[in-house]
Chain A
């Protein structure tokens, strides 16, 4: 029942087709004043298309949008802001080298005599706006000097400032936040809700859906599954709604893991002894075996990525030694590591992973080709064969191997990078947050893939912020805290024990 007293936005019968894809089919969506409304679905379910239509980036082919009971046509993102619909994107798009205050008020800075900027009142106003969000920081420092969480807050504050927003859309704001920062963000969201603002929250973390939202709208393959009161759902139910099937049975996964643990070799593949780099990671000792998955658990910034970077030669250690196949490693470069048979799927997909303008095929063969060098070019026909093989194996959804990788969804981009490293046929595969920002179904696929790679005799290092994921896939778990290796668990481990080790509590 559309109820214009309660609902600020009612989208009805939204239909949108792109060449080759029917992105949205007859989708209804309503948003009430003063609610936090989660929008969930797998990659490609149509979440972003729906948001793009609401914020004027794209036009719907059919369907209507009502704002405050009035039918509106949102012509552009700017128009959306004028209507009171503001969006904060996953990547903070502010200027890191300007101060926080400048970022907040740029374009509407208070002036003295209409000419010079009144810095004093600019800073005071900025402080005021942030205080409304319970954020108290030095607004005269550059935005870039603050954590991503604070930058997100600044982006939210700006969204509220510039448009006097009635609707705030948060597009996966938590994907690079720590648990603490996420909690901080939730406090802000609840405060906005209390002020009567309608918040649309897009996230891949189901825990967060339950932690903060009032209602959930589930999309699947461009169609509406339904809108539900969050309190009537649980994890299992929501997952089933999103996937249309139940996720991989955990028991099956566990059996798989126990079965595969029999294939672990006893001789070591890679041995790091007291390997370290000052100002990056304290010396640690770690041994990896063929056929084994070693999980690195720990919070963001605990030193997990730094371990991966040292093992792969992105950084050069200044202490300790690294031995592979019984031979000491001297050439600490990615190129050297590829020759030794090591691969690293890096944490930051956009910056360190994909080559956006190259095609899927070129992205996939890149590491293999880099290993072969300048003059042993892989023939074009063979390149297609390799690309097609991995597109099929990893179920990468792309029209052709010649599609530019930037046109793929995040999850598929991740798969392309994974394919790049599998094509290089490494003996040790280091995966740094391979499942971040991708949907539940793909996550399960990647976890299964890691176990089957181990069974084939590859060694894997699996890094993830999600503990249950680490537990599910790893034969051995290394816990990191404050840029140091704290402890190691193997065999059957108790989740709370690991949790305590991560948090730094005595068990």
Chain B
């Protein structure tokens, strides 16, 4: 009996999902005791309200980014430019809906100011074009890293800096307001749950099928663990990296749309600011090793994004000023670094054995 318990404990603690799930549960337990009515959920006008729903709503963009970032980090790289790519995609979308700011001389401005139906370009194009451009940004990153053999951090730093400039060029450095209601549905709408959550889930399913139902996932891990052995085994490791960065750009493009749609504004200067760090943090919480790469868990990253958002939402509901929340994120970073240290892992694994030994002794 005891042996089997210890085995289950061992399996459990070795699973990549153990730490992120435990973290999430611990934070929620703390919320239960510390924050009044944290878990209350109401159904009003066909959609749900409450802290938990807020977490899902605001956590979606990070989740979307984290999905793409997972693959990049698994190849042993990192993508610092996702925030800037978000700015680019959201600027393009905004200008395609509301062209005033780029100096288009339209006959009647009243046509679109405060007009919830108006869009300059058809909505399908407003969604497809930014995503394509964002994917191309990812391709650029991937080319620099794989064929250019530039350090991922340096290679993606290029677009991290340049991207915002490009976004400002597109919008003429003006905040663009979006009046179109259909577009705003992506980040604001509800089908009982926030629509952006469905976007994140759909992307998750696509990413999972793409990596685990094909051999791409295996190749990504293999390249991350040992690219030289992978090359000798006939894997085109450059193409794998190119794919990972492109997919990451694709995800960033979608995240950009979700965020602009949510705030109904595109501000090239602020959209996606520091989100690259959130995405990286979510992936790391999820158990994929930053720097080393290798084994990855998409589910871990998704839970990681939730851990991060739950922390932030809890802080805000607890009354911590928004400006101080970023300091709390730093604490999360420290906690993660500590938790993933090999010594702590071994300690946790042994914990099961010790407590069992005590039981048998008594």
Instruction: Enumerate chain A interface residues (CB-CB to B < 8 A).
Output: 314, 333-335, 337-338, 344, 346, 351-358, 362, 366-367, 369-378, 420, 424
| A357 near B295: Cβ-Cβ < 8 Å | yes
Distance in Å from the Cβ of A104 to the closest Cβ of chain B? 29
Known: A314-B232, A335-B236, A352-B229. A372 touches B222 (CB 8 A): no
- Shortest A259–chain B CB gap in Å is 33
Contacts of B235 in A (CB 8 A): 335, 366, 370
Taking a contact as CB atoms under 8 Å apart, the answer to whether A370 and B234 are in contact is yes
**In the complex with contacts A352-B228, A355-B226, A357-B225, A374-B219 CB distance below 8 A:** yes
Contact of B221 among A333, A338, A358 (CB under 8 A): A358
Nearest Cβ on chain A to B147's Cβ, whole angstroms = 14
Other than the given A346-B232, A420-B233, 12 more pairs (CB < 8 A) read A334-B233, A337-B234, A354-B229, A357-B221, A358-B225, A366-B222, A366-B230, A366-B235, A367-B233, A369-B218, A370-B235, A371-B234
Question: What are 27 inter-chain pairs, A to B, with CB distance below 8 A?
Answer: A314-B232, A333-B236, A334-B231, A334-B233, A338-B234, A352-B228, A354-B226, A355-B222, A355-B229, A355-B230, A355-B233, A357-B225, A358-B221, A362-B218, A366-B218, A366-B222, A366-B235, A370-B215, A370-B219, A370-B235, A372-B215, A374-B215, A374-B216, A376-B215, A377-B213, A377-B215, A378-B215
A337 CA to B232 CA, complexed, in Å: 10
Cβ of A460 to closest chain B Cβ, rounded Å? 18
**B214 within 8 Å of A (CB atoms):** yes
Interface-centre pick from A351, A369, A374 (highest chain B CB count, 10 A): A374
Range class of the B interface residue count: 20 to 34
CB neighbours of B236 from chain A (8 A): 333, 335
Show the binding face of B for A, using Cβ within 8 Å. Answer: 213-216, 218-219, 221-222, 225-226, 228-236, 294-295
Docked complex Cα distance between A351 and B230 (Å): 10
Structural contact, B232 and A355, CB atoms closer than 8 A: no
Q: Kindly state the separation between the CA atoms of A419 and B46 in the bound complex, as whole angstroms.
A: 59
Q: Smallest distance from the beta carbon of B300 to chain A beta carbons, Å? A: 15
Residue of B nearest to A335 (CB): B234
Question: Are A358 and B215 in contact (CB-based, < 8 A)?
Answer: no
| A420–B230 CA distance with the chains assembled, in angstroms | 12
A contact residues around B232 at 8 Å (CB):
314, 334, 344, 346, 352-353
Tell whether A358 pairs with B222 under 8 Å between CB atoms, given A366-B233, A370-B235, A420-B233. Answer: yes
Docked complex Cα distance between A375 and B218 (Å): 12
Closest to B239 in A: A374
Chain B residues positioned under 8 Å from A371 (CB to CB):
234
On chain A, the residues within 8 Å of B219 by CB distance are 369-370, 374
* Distance from B230 Cβ to chain A, minimum over Cβ atoms (Å): 7
Q: Which residues of B contact A334 (CB under 8 A)?
A: 231-234
- The answer to whether A351 touches B222, judged by C-beta atoms less than 8 angstroms apart, is no
Q: Which residues of B contact A355 (CB under 8 A)?
A: 221-222, 225-226, 229-230, 233
Distance between A482 CB and nearest chain B CB, rounded to angstroms: 26
Contact present for B214 and A375 (CB under 8 Å): yes
CB proximity of A30 to chain B, nearest CB, Å:
34
Q: How far is the CA of A374 from the CA of B230 in the complex (A)?
A: 14
**Residues B234 and A356 in contact, CB atoms below 8 Å apart:** no
Contacts of B215 in A (CB 8 A): 369-370, 372-378
Is the Cβ of A353 less than 8 Å from the Cβ of B216? Answer: no
What 4 A-B pairs come out closest when comparing CB atoms?
A370-B234, A338-B234, A335-B234, A377-B215
Minimum Cβ distance to chain B for residue A391 (Å): 18
**CA of A372 to CA of B234 in the docked complex: distance in angstroms?**
10
User: In the complex, how many angstroms separate the beta carbon of A357 from the nearest chain B beta carbon?
Assistant: 5
Given contacts A366-B218, A369-B218, A372-B215, contact A357 B294 (CB under 8 A): yes
